[in-house]
Amino acid sequence: MLTLEPLRPDHAAAVLAFELANRAWFARTVPDRGDAYFTAAGFAERHDALLAEQAEGTGRFHLVLGPDGALVGRINLVDLVDGSAELGYRVAESAAGQGLAKAAVALVCRLAADAYGLHALTAATTLDNPASRAVLTGSGFTVTGQCRLGGHPGLRYRRALDAS
């Protein structure tokens, strides 16, 4: 069973290892985080900033854990304002194509509505990422317009949420 775990301080080493192991895979479809992100100091600073956002309630960051408890992805809600947030996610190359992103999006949508009181989520992906576009449309998101992400053409999406 797939589970989501809120980001904690003790996750730093596992998250950095996940990001390093999948850096080239992610860079195929999303802007690279840059070399400074992957240094011990740069990563620690960014991890602390995410935890601060989470404590303030402006962001919700989660690890996606596979059935064996291994870190297989990340899924985040950022810019929580007026009952909505921006959704972002990434799945390890080794876990791609197994339906994990769609399952994680379903879990975070329910969490967003029920635990965080959100009524809508937005997302964006590049045109050259058909897997992410399929996850979003298969998860009830509809296209709302075009955008550019890291210099690449993309689409913006939105989904209304209902509390259970």
Over residues 121-161, the pLDDT tens digits come to 999 999 988 999 999 999 999 999 999 987 889 999 999 99
Q: What is the CATH number of the domain that holds 54?
A: 3.40.630.30
**Beta sheet of 71-81, edge-to-edge order:** 3-6, 59-65, 71-81, 84-91, 120-126, 152-160, 142-149
Q: What pLDDT, on a 0 to 100 scale, did the predictor assign at position 158?
A: 98
Core vs surface per residue 113-147: b (16+ CB within 10 A) or e: beeeebeebebbbbeebeebbebbeebebeeeeee
Q: Which residue has the higher pLDDT, 6 or 40?
A: 6
Q: Where are the alpha helices (DSSP H) in 37-122?
A: 40-56, 100-114
Residue 89 pLDDT > 90, yes or no? yes
What is the residue range of 28's domain?
Answer: 3-160
How many folded domains does the chain comprise?
1
- Calpha distance 30→131 (Å, rounded): 12
Sole residue written with tokens 């899924």 = 75
Q: What pLDDT, on a 0 to 100 scale, did the predictor assign at position 60?
A: 97
Phi, psi of 37 (to 5 degrees): -60, -35
Encode pLDDT of 29-71 as tens digits: 766 676 666 677 788 888 999 999 999 999 999 999 998 999 9
pLDDT band per the 50, 70, 90 thresholds, residue 27: confident
Residue 105 pLDDT > 90, yes or no? yes
154 by Cβ neighbours in 10 Å (0-12 / 13-18 / 19+) ranks as buried
Tell me if 19 sits within 8 A of 81, measured CB to CB.
no
Q: Smallest Cα–Cα separation from 50: which of 15, 81, 97, 3?
A: 15
Tell me if 28 sits within 8 A of 126, measured CB to CB.
no
- Calpha distance 137→106 (Å, rounded): 12
